Amino acid sequence: MKRLPQLKEDQLVKTIGTGKVILFFTADWCPDCRFIKPALPDIEKDFSDYTFYQVDRDENIDLAAELNIFGIPSFVAYNNGEEIGRFVNKDRKTKQQVEDFLQSLE
C-alpha cells in the first residue's frame, strides 16, 4: 500500500492520478485501524484493479476535514479523480464489510 504524503484536497487529484483509487484513512493510535490493517493485503490482492493509499489522518488533518472524514478507519473511493463512494464512520470495520463496500462500487 502506498502512503499518501501530506497534502490538501486541491492537490489530491493530481497526486492520485487516474484510475481506481482507495484512500484508507488511519492513525497509529487508532485501535480500530490496527484491527483492519492485517486484512488489507488480502483486500488489496482481491481488488487489484484499485490502487490503495494509506492516509495518516493526523498528518493530513486538513485533508480529512476537507473530505469530511471525522471517524477512522475510513475508506474513500475514486475513479479518475472523481469520488465514487465512501465507507466513512468511526466504527470498527471487518474485512467482509470493507469487501462489501468495494463490491458495491462496481
Domain assignment present for residue 77? The answer is: yes
6 is a catalytic site residue: no
Tens-digit pLDDT profile for residues 46-73? 999 999 999 999 999 999 999 999 899 9
Please report, for the domain that includes residue 27, its CATH number. 3.40.30.10
Asked whether residue 11 is assigned to any structural domain, the reply reads: no
- 20-26, strands of its sheet edge to edge: 2-3, 50-56, 20-26, 74-79, 82-87
User: What's the pLDDT tens digit per position in 87-105?
Assistant: 998 888 999 999 999 999 9
| Angle at 50 (CA atoms; ends 69, 35), nearest 5 degrees | 55
State yes or no: is 30 an active-site residue: yes
The predicted structure's pLDDT at residue 38: 96
Q: Is residue 49 part of a domain?
A: yes
Domain membership of residue 82 (yes or no) is: yes
pTM of whole model > 0.85? yes
Number of domains in the chain: 1
The one catalytic residue among 4, 27, 33, 63: 33
Q: Within a domain: residue 88?
A: yes
**Cell reading at 55:** 492516509
Q: Which range of residues forms the domain containing residue 39?
A: 2-6+16-104
Residue of 30, 69, 72, 102 marked active site:
30
